[in-house]
Structure 1
Amino acid sequence: MNATLSKTPSALEEQFARRLANRLSAGNAELPHDIGERLRVARQQAVARRKLAPALHPTEVLVSSGGAAALGGGWWTRIGAVVPLIALVIGMITISIVQDENRANDMAEVDAALLTDDLPPAAFTDPGFAQFLKTHASDTASH
């Protein structure tokens, strides 16, 4: 097992802090003595003032599921899980109905155009005739 994965978060933080401190201290040799001393004192003050994070302790949570006052579970959870599913089903059914109506309206327009227009019998056997009627009907509707 990898040794890095088995370390605790506090050990990893300590390791990071040491690497950071070493990196910051690497250039101290080239600095003048007075600047190096001021940096050392500033580091000591920063370490003294640092705030320790409060330790997190697990606490017990008591949830009462008896009655309507317990909104954290029970039948509210069931309703919350079912409502989106019902909304999805209703939406899908509505889309299906609207698409069926649109298809029926398109076919009715083509049928009406065929029945009201004077056409030679050969026009009915032409495979591109239905497409022509659709484009012609949409052109006249837009004007």
Structure 2
Amino acid sequence: MNHTQTNPATSAQDTLQNRVGQRLASCLNEQAAHLPADIEERLRFAREQAMSKAAAARAAQPLAAADLPVLQASQSTLVLGQSSGSGPRWLKLAALVPALLLALGLVVIHHSQWYEQIRAAAELDTGLLSKPLPPAAYNDPGFREYLNEDPNATEEDEQ
């Protein structure tokens, strides 16, 4: 449950600012009806310029509050994401780097296991070809144990 707490002093300040703003606006609106045409035209022109400068200032801001990353609650998991719009292109490409590193790591692991299998087979073949084997040894179930025996070892060493 997300409960937002408001500061009573801040709330009272906002209320006071709103009241002062409404009083000023109503006083200005009352007096605007009695202004000469040339002053109304100058005020209209000044208002348009202020609006265009405000729009340019908003467009020049590098990162608006709406574009900042926000934490969003998704059931019981927090997700870091953009609140609206799409992020910079380099940020999207940077997100691919971990995936590429993972793929590269998997390829290296696969290659090292393949190399280890080839090395083990070559060691077995070397053992087969370097020791004198009788033809009956190929059918013997203890064939690998025969290959792993030390030819210099005696029966006393093995017991």
Range of TM-score over shorter length? 0.3 to 0.5
TM-score computed with the length of structure 1 as normaliser = 0.44
More relative contact order, 1 or 2 (CA 8 Å, 6+ apart): 1
Structure with greater strand share of residues: 2
TM-score computed with the length of structure 2 as normaliser = 0.40
If you compute each CA radius of gyration, which structure gives the higher value, 1 or 2? 2
